[in-house]
A and B are shown apart, each in its own frame.
Chain A
Amino acid sequence: MSILTLRNISKRYGSLQALREVSFEVPRGSVFGILGPNGSGKTTLLGIVTDVLKADTGDFTLFDQLPTATQRRQIGTLLETPNFYHYLSGFRNLQITAAVKQRDEKDIARVLEIAGLTARQHAAFKTYSLGMKQRLAIANTLLGDPDVLILDEPSNGLDPAGIAEVRGLIKQLAQSGKTIIMASHLLDEVEKVCTHVAVLQKGKLLTSGPVNTVMVREDFVEIGSSDMNGLEVLIRQHPMFGNLSIGDGVLQVFFNGVVDPGELNSWLAGQGIWLNHLQVRRKSLESAFLEMTQN
């Protein structure tokens, strides 16, 4: 079953084409990252899915059904900014959400605990710091333990510890089998948690699918030695050598095929070069993304 299926969604704001014929599918159980620079249409897309924006053309389904309020009640969504009544406490704001979602109020204590807001739950929302507001918004999405979460820039406004917490939480939720649709411009964030991605640029879908097939990210080996010149000359003679780039005191070597680091080490030692640095690495999502969006 697909959680979300988009078919040729287009949306225009005046002269700006915010989305252009976007189609893709979010499978159940995936952590689906929607990537793109600021202004690429990520929030517009999620706004359409949650019915706060109307698409000009195209349609979509939620849980293979026509999207209505009933489907939205089964999804926990954080879109753009935390939207709460400033004069009400965090707890009372969540009471309203519980009533809208028709969920039991008993769950409020649990989600406030997860968000680390138990101590401040009875203080007015307007007294919260930016990070606390964001955490209340995350608590709001978790209310009623929905199977699907839509998170738009979930770590906005959080400090490094908060970002790590949210990332841990997302991983934990993903492991428990939930489907997570996440929009982000922080590739690092996506790289650490996503199983699938869709890449948007200026409203156009560049690609979508499982993260490892969509973004070609070959492994490379980082090596260093006290004799860097000798190492460079020697490594070029390796039978599977592809190409190399010189990094910060190390060589980044791409091979044609898989090379076992142990065998590589032994091969170099056999020729008289001893390594003081050896690490197998993977091209970052960021460089893969930049390559993709610059073409």
Chain B
Amino acid sequence: MLNIIRIEWLKVKNYRTFWILLILAIIVIPASNMIVADVVSRIPKQATDLLGKNFYDFPVVWQTVANVNSFTSVIFGLLLVTLVTNEFSYKTHRQQVIDGWERMDLVLSKVFWVVALSLIAFVVSFITAIAFGTAYSAFNFSFEGVQFLFFYFLQVLVSLSLALLLGMFIKRSGLATVIYLGYAMVLEQLLTVGVKHFFGPIGGLLPLQAGDELLPFPVVDKVLPSSADYGHGVYEITIILYIALFIGITCRRMLKVDY
């Protein structure tokens, strides 16, 4: 596995597109929170007093940051789609098997990125939450509510696993990007609304929606609790099952198909 990671490093070390997308994905995390913090600071004081806590006060800040970041995690997905489809457009997936990788190594090399990018998103969010909490909070530092960042980590993992699956199946970079973005940003929301309307809360168990259910916007969720929900555990297990399913299907395909 270490050798696989070293090879992946050699592929991206001098790849400008990778670094631009990665830096963008990282910068967007504090930047979008800055925008939200700015908007929040303009809410009249009477209104925030009514809600009890400010969004960037400890311990609420963990949930706020996790919620805000869940909207921008698609940038990591785009990065992953690029890394996966590159192999197909350059046919280097073929060459690496020819030169002595097992087909499974191809899958592992990209699962590595799913995990690595999710960890980067998690760590940057963690630092962002501490920084914003320290800067804005009227309350003392607290880890209470830090589990929301783990929910965010799970959400990025499932989103990237989906990007992996789409990249490996579609192979063509442009088409895979459009389908991934279309699903993540529009199609799944539509499905969720439709399924919830006709079949009830099971609509919340779609892959990306399950993460959203774990990450409601803070404070407001206490005032307006969503109508029907499962416990946290159900969503967590659902997400983990989706991750296993997406990676499992990817393995099955890559081990069998002609390159």
A interface, CB within 8 angstroms of B: 47, 50-54, 68-70, 72-73, 77, 79, 81, 83-89, 92, 95-97, 99-102, 140
Min CB gap A291→B, angstroms = 34
Chain A residues near B91: list those with CB within 8 A.
81, 83
Interchain CB contact under 8 A, A83 and B92 = yes
| Partner among A53, A81, A99, A140 whose Cβ is within 8 Å of the Cβ of B258 | A53
Interchain CB contact under 8 A, A100 and B258 = no
Min CB gap B102→A, angstroms = 5
B99 (CB) vs chain A CBs: closest residue: A100
A86 (CB) vs chain B CBs: closest residue: B90
Interchain CB contact under 8 A, A100 and B101 = yes
Name the segment of B6-14, B56-64, B165-173, B231-239 touching the other chain: B6-14
Interchain CB contact under 8 A, A83 and B97 = no
Interchain CB contact under 8 A, B100 and A96 = no
Min CB gap B146→A, angstroms = 38
Interchain CB contact under 8 A, A52 and B99 = no
| Partner among B14, B99, B103 whose Cβ is within 8 Å of the Cβ of A101 | B99
Interchain CB contact under 8 A, B3 and A99 = yes
Interchain CB contact under 8 A, B256 and A85 = no
Chain A residues near B16: list those with CB within 8 A.
87
- Listed by A's residue number, 21 A-B pairs whose Cβ atoms lie within 8 Å are A47-B259, A51-B103, A52-B98, A53-B258, A53-B259, A54-B256, A54-B257, A54-B258, A69-B101, A72-B97, A77-B99, A79-B98, A88-B14, A97-B95, A97-B99, A99-B10, A100-B96, A100-B101, A101-B100, A102-B100, A140-B99
Interchain CB contact under 8 A, B14 and A50 = no
B18 (CB) vs chain A CBs: closest residue: A87
Interchain CB contact under 8 A, A73 and B100 = yes
Interchain CB contact under 8 A, B10 and A96 = yes
A89 (CB) vs chain B CBs: closest residue: B14
Chain A residues near B17: list those with CB within 8 A.
87
B199 contacts chain A at the CB level, 8 A cutoff: no
Interchain CB contact under 8 A, A52 and B90 = no
User: Could you tell me the distance between the alpha carbons of A73 and B256 in the complex, rounded to whole angstroms?
Assistant: 21
Chain B residues near A83: list those with CB within 8 A.
90-92, 94-95
A13 (CB) vs chain B CBs: closest residue: B258
Chain A residues near B257: list those with CB within 8 A.
54
B188 contacts chain A at the CB level, 8 A cutoff: no
| Partner among A69, A70, A81, A140 whose Cβ is within 8 Å of the Cβ of B105 | A69
Chain A residues near B86: list those with CB within 8 A.
85
Interface residues on B, range: 20 to 34
B257 (CB) vs chain A CBs: closest residue: A54
B interface, CB within 8 angstroms of A: 3, 6-7, 10-11, 14-17, 86, 90-92, 94-103, 105, 256-259
User: Could you tell me the distance between the alpha carbons of A79 and B91 in the complex, rounded to whole angstroms?
Assistant: 11
Interchain CB contact under 8 A, B7 and A79 = no
Chain B residues near A51: list those with CB within 8 A.
97-98, 103
Chain B residues near A47: list those with CB within 8 A.
258-259
Interchain CB contact under 8 A, B10 and A84 = no
| Partner among A69, A101, A140 whose Cβ is within 8 Å of the Cβ of B102 | A69
Chain B residues near A68: list those with CB within 8 A.
102
Chain A residues near B10: list those with CB within 8 A.
92, 95-96, 99
| Partner among A84, A87, A95, A99 whose Cβ is within 8 Å of the Cβ of B95 | A84
Most chain A Cβ neighbours within 10 Å, of B10, B86, B99, B257: B99
A81 (CB) vs chain B CBs: closest residue: B91
User: Could you tell me the distance between the alpha carbons of A102 and B100 in the complex, rounded to whole angstroms?
Assistant: 9
Min CB gap B112→A, angstroms = 14
Chain B residues near A52: list those with CB within 8 A.
94, 97-98, 258-259
Min CB gap A189→B, angstroms = 22
Interchain CB contact under 8 A, A84 and B92 = yes
| Partner among A53, A72, A92, A95 whose Cβ is within 8 Å of the Cβ of B100 | A72
Min CB gap B62→A, angstroms = 39
| Partner among B3, B14, B259 whose Cβ is within 8 Å of the Cβ of A92 | B14
User: Could you tell me the distance between the alpha carbons of A53 and B94 in the complex, rounded to whole angstroms?
Assistant: 9
Most chain A Cβ neighbours within 10 Å, of B11, B95, B101: B95
User: Could you tell me the distance between the alpha carbons of A153 and B22 in the complex, rounded to whole angstroms?
Assistant: 40
User: Could you tell me the distance between the alpha carbons of A253 and B100 in the complex, rounded to whole angstroms?
Assistant: 52
B90 (CB) vs chain A CBs: closest residue: A85
| Partner among B92, B99, B100, B102 whose Cβ is within 8 Å of the Cβ of A85 | B92
A53 (CB) vs chain B CBs: closest residue: B258
Most chain B Cβ neighbours within 10 Å, of A95, A99, A102: A99
| Partner among B90, B92, B99 whose Cβ is within 8 Å of the Cβ of A73 | B99
User: Could you tell me the distance between the alpha carbons of A100 and B102 in the complex, rounded to whole angstroms?
Assistant: 10
Chain A residues near B14: list those with CB within 8 A.
87-89, 92
Chain A residues near B94: list those with CB within 8 A.
52, 79, 83
| Partner among B6, B7, B92, B100 whose Cβ is within 8 Å of the Cβ of A69 | B100
Additional A-B contact list (14), CB under 8 Å, known A99-B10, A102-B100: A50-B97, A54-B256, A69-B100, A70-B100, A72-B97, A73-B100, A84-B92, A85-B90, A87-B14, A88-B11, A96-B11, A97-B99, A100-B101, A101-B99
